[in-house]
Structure formats: C-alpha cells, structure tokens
C-alpha cells in the first residue's frame, strides 16, 4: 500500500489518525466498474487538488466515512473514496 | 432602454441559501416543475421591482460547471445557451474559497455575474471578515453582501442586478492559467472559434483540456480534429506537470480562488467553540450520535404518523359522510356510484397527500436546511452502502415504513439520477403501514405473530437482495459519498413552508387525475358487471399458479387504489371476516406475499411518475407485478411441498 514519491511516504488518507493533517499528493483511480473521471473530477471540484492540506477530523464508526476539513469546508468522504486519496503526512513534509 | 423584463438565474453551491433568496424575492409568485424531459426540479418565479418585471429561475445547487451530474449539465446549458440577462452567483461567505471556484467558472462561461455574498452572519460568527470592495475589484463584478434569512441586503442586490442588466458587466476579470497552459488554451480557442460552437470558445477550450465529455462529443460532431488536438495538448500538459491535465487545471483555478481569498479575507477564530460546533461534535459522536439520531427521527416520524393518521381519519370521516347524500340524490343508480368513485378517488388523494405529505415535506426541508440530514448521512453511510446507496438514502427508506408516497418524493435528495432511481425502487418495496396491517391482520391474526414476523423479515431480505441486484444491473458509477457538512443553522421557516406548499401543489396536479381515473375505472368495471369476468380471466394466475380462490383477483385489483383495500375487499367478497374459514394457511401466506410486492399503490405510482418519469414508473410497476406473481407461485409450491399447510 505504501508508495514512494520524491522520497516522501505517500499513504492513503484512511491511514491518518483523527486530528492528523496530510497533503494531497495524488488521487488514484480505482479498480472496478465505472470510469474514474467522474469521482476524481468531483473531488477536484470540492477542493481536493494536489498540494491541498487536509485534516482528518473524525471517522464514522463501523468502517464509515471520514470527516475532513479542506479549504475551510467540512466534508464527508466515503471510506472507499478516501482509500484512493493519497497524502503525505504533514510532519514528514 | 426603459422599463422592461429582466431574466435572472440564481446559481451556486448547495447549502448557500439560494432557495431562501429565491423565496424572499419571488414570494408566492412561483412555479415548481421539472426541466423538460428531466427529473431535475425547476423553480421559477416573478417579481416586480422599480417598474421592472424580473423573472427568476433557481438553478440546482452545484459545485462546478462540468458534467459530473445532470444538475451541472442543466445549469451550464441554461447559462450558456438561454443566456439570462444576469446570473446571480449566491456565495457562502463562510467558505469563500470553495465558492469562488464556482464563481471563476461562471466568469469563464462569460456570464454576466452579480455576486450575492450570503451568510455574512455565519461568517462573522466564525470570525471571518471580508473586504467587499476589494473582492469586487479583483473579480470585476458587483458584489452585494446579504443575510438572506433576515432579508438583509436584498434590495441592494436587486439594484445591482438592474445595473448589470441595463449597463452590462463592468469588466469581468479573466482568469489566467500558467503560461504553458495558456498557450495551449489559445491554440484550441482559435480552432473552436472557426467551428462556431454555442459555448464561448475559450470556455470550450478549457473544458476540452479538462476532458469534458459533453463538449468533446458535441465538438467532434463539428470537427473531430479539434478533439484529438485537445487530447494531445492535454497529454503535453500532463507531461510537464506530472499530474493529469484536468487536475492541473482545477488546481490552478483553486490557486486563483485562494489567492483572492488571501487578499480579501481576515480570520480571527473565536476562542470558544461555538454552539454549532458543539452540536456538530455531539451529533456525529461515535457512540452518542446514534441514540440521538434514532430518538430524533423516531419522535419526528411518530409525531407525523400519529398526527397524519388522526387528520387522515378525520378527513375521510367528513368526506365519507357525503356518501348517503350522493346515494340519495342519484337513488343508488349507476351514475351515483360513478360520481362516488370520483369522490372516493379524491378522498384517497386527500387523506394521503395532506396529512402525510405536507408534514413530511416540512420535516424533510427542516432536516436538510438545518444541516442535520448531512450528519445522518454521515452516520448511516456504511449501512446504506450495502445496497449501493449512500447515507442520505436512509431518510426515504425509513420513511417508507410509514408510507411509500412521501418516501418516493423524498428520494430527490439523492444527487444522481441513478441513485434516485435505485432509492425509489427500494422504497416502493418496503412494507408501508397499510401492508403491515395486512401482514398483521391476516398472517399475524390467524397463523401467529411468529409467522408475521418471519414474513416481515423475509420481505426485508428480498428488498435487500433486489436492491443489490438492481444496484449491480443499473449502468453507471457506484455511488461514493462526497458531501459537504454545512454549519448548523436555524432553518428559515417561511422558505420551508413555501417550498412545502408549492411541492404539494405539484404533487396534487400529478397524483389526483391518476388516482381519480383509477378509482373511476375500477368502479366502472364493477358497474358493468365485469368483476366476475375479470376474476375468471385472472384465474390462471390466481387459481392455477398461486393456488388462491378466484375471488382474490378482484381484491388484488382494488388493492391498487389502497393496499389495505385488499383485505377489506376480500372480507366483503368472501362475506366473512373469519378468514380461516375460507383460506388455508398457505393461501394466507401466499396472498400476503403477493400483496406486499405486487404493485405500488396508485398514489405511490403517481409519486414515482413525479420523481423518475413515466417510463421508469411503468417499468418498476410492471417488474413488481411479475415479481410478486413469480414469488407467490414459488412460495405456494414450496409451502405445499414441505406440507407445512393442511
């Protein structure tokens, strides 16, 4: 799951604990059905562009969605989606 | 130019107070319908101000002008093709950056924009102050700060609308991207200019680089070379930046938005967390969030259905008291029965529409406008996901246990057409109060509560399996939750009531003719003495396949009007209320199963037509009839085989 990018460690957003901040490095299109253009575009539209700071506020129980803070907006992201968002943890930057 | 008509479109993100502004401006002069051929709601209204007639259209709440959803496509086409005189961009001042991302796209679309900088009160609470003059200068458009729920700033907004309509835009700022991108945009723009396309050339060029499907398709019809050139140019940009081109462009656009925000906005965060913050933490709490949600929803639904049931009974008592009068006038003739059937249709409509749908709409809007709906969706997402739906679907699904009609109407909170269709389908299968009455009254009464419970669970399993099956079968992307959780706020009651009123009218317009026609048709069949013929015609299904008495065919037909009528008619037709003397336990079980699934009642069909259109409504109905018959027959054979019954 871990990937190297310019020597920094990229992890899926879901690996961050509550209260941790990451910087979006890339969004990886998933496997499976549907074209990736749709949800990637949607994430971009909501402000999750590469380089954006993202704070994990909390995650819903039962493996539920994440609540994140991006550009001053509180967003709920489904877990499957959050797994496709790769970030670099802030303290490692 | 002197006094005239001005066309205005309201555009902006969801949860920015667009509908509050719309309602404030248009008052009771509005019309709610659907966009032609689409299931997306279209709200229009008119206002007279300083001698001008201002026609306002409230575009759906969206986050971008690309083609992620039908709403975005509709809004974009409306702005670019219908060219309203003024586009009012309603903006949430408390999350300026994300809202500006949309504003910048409106500017790219070369729309004549006036900004309503709304929710200034919420921004102030968050310690945000905005330099409006500077914002106007940087964007090159007029900006009117507003607090819509208090009506603050709306006259200034109207004055600015008129100014732009009369004098045209000041001087709209053009957003410049990085040099390597700009070069490529100009190349494409030149090519598109020659192609004579109905979107502004520069906008089309940018969208082509972003991989916009609609524009790609349309331009490739004019000149496919442009699209392939765009693909090459996009690949070059991807090469330079190491990220996909659409993401590079979105990043730069956001970069511009955040530059502007840095210049115009100051934040002094309040020291103590606000009440809204505390409420948010509490309602999304890992443990406490759930009991709070269950208590809130249960008390709401309980109140609605108790209240609704009471009013419904009262209304039908009053309306039924006219029956003897009608019978008197027409001396029990056929004409009297037919007229009565029309009134009975009205009763069915009135006793469902007014007592259940009106309060439900009010509750739905309060849940949505206050922001609590988003928290419920957050908590319930995991469970709804199993059916391919996301958390928001929990509300209509829970509602459908009471009545499928408001539940179907509530499915409009789902974002995409695919999700709406799936949610609507699932809600029509859930046993509503009327079906629960049949389960309890027939199976529960004569076979024991255990069997009633078993049937209920069986029903839910089938709903779940069918939901999953349709989820797999429907084309399109599986749903993923990307949802804004807006700051909690007190809903604007006047807006809520108006929204309810106009949607209720819309429902009555669609539902009443259908319900009355259905009632009339069934009564005519009875008068013409065709009931026996029909039960004979249905007997291959009812008797041979389902193993039921032939007479049940008639009661099933009446059940289309209201599901509880199946049981009432059955006792009338069989001439007894002791069902155990006329039906075997197997027959009871089969009859109940068929009743649960065979068709949404006519009011639900009307709601389906309103939400997903005739074609889908018809497919769902036909599917459920066939499904119920097949399932009933299989159950009959299974139960007989296991010799569970006598």
Instruction: Over range B398-409, report the average pLDDT.
Output: 83
Within 8 A of B66 by CB-CB distance, chain A residues are 41, 45
CA distance B282 to B211: 42
For B485, which of A44, A47, A76 is closest by C-beta distance? A76
CA distance B11 to B76: 10
Mean pLDDT (chain B) is: 87
Helix (H) or strand (E) holding B16: none
CA distance B135 to B264: 6
CA distance B114 to B154: 12
CA distance A53 to A18: 14
What confidence score (pLDDT) does residue B170 get?
A: 65
Distance to chain B for A88, nearest Cα, Å: 16
Nearest chain B residue to A29, by CA: B244
Tell me chain B's radius of gyration from C-alpha atoms: 29
Within 8 A of B481 by CB-CB distance, chain A residues are 65, 76-78, 81
Bridge partner list, B46: B55
Within 8 A of A81 by CB-CB distance, chain B residues are 480-482
CA distance B312 to B564: 14
Distance to chain B for A63, nearest Cα, Å: 7
- Here the tokens at position B355 are 């007592």
Bridge partner list, B483: A76
Using DSSP, how many helices (H) and how many strands (E) does chain B show?
Answer: 29, 10
Instruction: Please check whether residue A41 touches B, CB under 8 A.
Output: yes
What confidence score (pLDDT) does residue A85 get?
A: 93
Distance to chain B for A91, nearest Cα, Å: 23
For A75, which of B286, B477, B485 is closest by C-beta distance? B485
Within 8 A of A52 by CB-CB distance, chain B residues are 254
Instruction: Over range B284-313, report the average pLDDT.
Output: 86
Instruction: Over range B63-67, report the average pLDDT.
Output: 81
Within A1-93, strands assigned E span 3-5, 8-12, 21-27, 53-59, 66-70, 73-77, 85-89
Within 8 A of B374 by CB-CB distance, chain A residues are 76
Q: What per-residue string of b and e applies to B236-263 under the rule 16 or more CB within 10 Å gives b? A: ebeeebebbbbbbbbbbbbebbbebbee
What confidence score (pLDDT) does residue A6 get?
A: 54
Is residue B63's pLDDT more than 90? Answer: no
Query: What are the φ and ψ backbone dihedral angles of B114, each rounded to 5 degrees?
Result: -120, 135
User: Among residues B73, B163, B122, B141, which one has the least CA distance to residue B270?
Assistant: B122
By CB neighbour count within 10 A (0-12 exposed, 13-18 middle, 19+ buried), where does A91 fall?
exposed
Q: What is the band of B646 on the pLDDT scale with cuts at 50, 70, 90? A: very low
What confidence score (pLDDT) does residue B332 get?
A: 64
What confidence score (pLDDT) does residue B330 get?
A: 73
- What DSSP designation does A2 have? -
Distance to chain B for A9, nearest Cα, Å: 17
Q: At what angle do helices B96-108 and B201-209 cross, to 10 degrees?
A: 120
CA distance A47 to A70: 7
Instruction: Please check whether residue A19 touches B, CB under 8 A.
Output: no
> Do the beta carbons of residue B115 and residue B170 sit within 8 Å?
no
For B250, which of A26, A44, A60 is closest by C-beta distance? A44
- Here the tokens at position B32 are 């709610």
Quote ipTM for the complex: 0.87
If one counts every other C-beta atom within 10 angstroms of the C-beta of residue B512, the result is: 18
Q: Which of B215, B378, B486 to mutate to test the interface with A (most CBs of A within 10 A)?
A: B378
CA distance B447 to B243: 65
CB-CB under 8 Å, A60 with B381: yes
Within 8 A of B478 by CB-CB distance, chain A residues are 32-34
* Greater model confidence, B74 or B385: B74
By CB neighbour count within 10 A (0-12 exposed, 13-18 middle, 19+ buried), where does B99 fall?
buried
What confidence score (pLDDT) does residue B643 get?
A: 63
Using DSSP, how many helices (H) and how many strands (E) does chain A show?
Answer: 2, 7
Task: Name the strands in the sheet holding A85-89, side by side, starting at the edge strand that comes first in the sequence.
Answer: A3-5, A8-12, A85-89, A21-27, A53-59, A66-70, A73-77, B482-484
Instruction: Over range B558-574, report the average pLDDT.
Output: 81
Distance to chain A for B641, nearest Cα, Å: 41
> Do the beta carbons of residue B387 and residue B381 sit within 8 Å?
no
Is residue A2's pLDDT more than 80? Answer: no
Is residue B173's pLDDT more than 50? Answer: yes
CA distance B87 to B79: 8
């Amino acid at each position: 799951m871990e990937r190297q990018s310019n020597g920094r460690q990229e992890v899926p957003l879901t690996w961050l604990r509550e209260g941790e901040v990451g910087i979006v490095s890339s969004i990886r299109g998933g496997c499976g059905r549907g074209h990736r253009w749709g949800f990637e575009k949607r994430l971009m539209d909501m402000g999750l562009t590469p380089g954006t700071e993202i704070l994990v506020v909390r995650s819903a129980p039962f493996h539920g969605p994440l609540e994140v803070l991006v550009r001053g907006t509180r967003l709920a992201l489904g877990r499957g989606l959050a797994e496709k968002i790769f970030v670099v943890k802030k303290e490692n930057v | 130019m002197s006094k005239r008509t001005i066309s205005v479109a309201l555009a902006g993100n969801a949860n920015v107070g667009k509908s509050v502004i719309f309602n404030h401006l248009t008052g009771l002069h509005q019309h709610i319908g659907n966009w032609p051929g689409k299931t997306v709601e279209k709200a229009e209204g008119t206002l007279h101000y300083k001698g001008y007639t201002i026609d306002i259209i409230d575009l759906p709440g969206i986050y971008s002008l690309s083609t992620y959803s039908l709403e975005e496509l509709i809004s974009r086409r409306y702005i670019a093709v219908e060219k309203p005189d003024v586009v009012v961009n309603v903006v949430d001042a408390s999350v300026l950056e994300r809202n500006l991302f949309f504003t910048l796209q409106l500017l790219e679309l070369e729309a004549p924009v006036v900004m309503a900088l709304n929710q200034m009160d919420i921004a102030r609470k968050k310690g945000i102050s905005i330099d409006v003059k500077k914002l106007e200068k940087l964007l090159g458009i007029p900006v009117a700060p507003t607090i819509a729920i208090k009506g603050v700033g709306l006259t200034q907004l109207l004055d600015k609308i008129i100014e732009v309509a009369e004098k045209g835009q000041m001087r709209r700022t053009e957003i410049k991207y990085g040099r390597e991108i700009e070069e490529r945009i100009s190349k494409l723009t030149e090519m598109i200019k020659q192609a004579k396309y109905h979107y502004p050339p520069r906008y089309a060029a940018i969208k082509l680089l972003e991989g916009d499907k609609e524009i790609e398709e349309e331009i490739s019809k004019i000149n496919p070379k442009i699209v392939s050139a765009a693909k090459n140019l996009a690949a070059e940009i991807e090469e330079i930046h190491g990220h996909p081109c659409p993401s590079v462009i979105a990043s730069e656009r956001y970069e511009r938005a955040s530059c502007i925000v840095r210049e115009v906005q100051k934040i002094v965060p309040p020291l103590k967390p606000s009440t809204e913050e505390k409420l948010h933490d509490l309602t999304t709490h890992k443990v406490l969030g759930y009991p709070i949600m269950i208590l809130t929803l249960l008390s709401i639904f309980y109140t609605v259905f108790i209240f609704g049931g009471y009013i419904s009974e009262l209304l039908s008592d009053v309306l039924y008291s006219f029956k003897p009068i009608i019978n008197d006038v027409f001396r029990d003739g056929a004409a009297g029965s037919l007229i009565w059937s029309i009134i009975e249709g009205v009763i069915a409509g009135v006793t469902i529409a007014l007592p259940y749908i009106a309060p439900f709409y009010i509750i739905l809007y309060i849940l949505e406008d206050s922001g609590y709906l988003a928290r419920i969706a957050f908590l319930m997402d995991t469970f709804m996901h199993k059916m391919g739906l996301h958390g928001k679907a929990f509300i209509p699904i829970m509602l459908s246990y009471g009545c499928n009609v408001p539940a179907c109407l509530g499915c409009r909170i789902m974002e995409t057409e695919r999700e709406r269709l799936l949610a609507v389908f699932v809600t029509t299968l859930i046993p509503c109060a009327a079906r629960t009455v049949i389960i309890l009254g027939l199976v529960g009464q004569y076979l024991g509560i255990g069997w009633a419970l078993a049937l209920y669970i069986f029903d839910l399993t089938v709903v779940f399996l069918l939901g999953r099956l349709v989820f797999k079968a429907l084309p399109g992307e599986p749903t993923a939750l990307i949802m804004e959780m807006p700051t909690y706020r007190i809903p604007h009651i006047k807006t809520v009531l108006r929204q309810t009123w106009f949607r209720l009218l819309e429902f009555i317009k669609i539902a009443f003719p259908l319900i009355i026609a259905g009632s009339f048709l069934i009564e005519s069949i009875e008068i013409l003495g065709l009931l026996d013929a029909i039960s004979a015609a249905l007997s291959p299904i009812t008797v041979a396949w389902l193993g039921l008495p032939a007479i049940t065919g008639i009661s099933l037909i009446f059940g289309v009007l209201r599901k509880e009528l199946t049981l009432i008619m059955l006792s009338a037709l069989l001439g007894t209320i002791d069902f155990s003397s006329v039906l075997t336990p197997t027959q009871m079980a089969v009859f109940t199963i068929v009743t649960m699934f065979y068709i949404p009642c006519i009011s639900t069909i009307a709601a389906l037509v309103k939400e997903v259109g005739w074609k889908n409504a018809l497919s769902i109905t036909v599917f459920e009839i066939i499904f119920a018959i097949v399932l009933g027959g299989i159950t009959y054979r299974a139960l007989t085989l296991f010799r569970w019954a006598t």
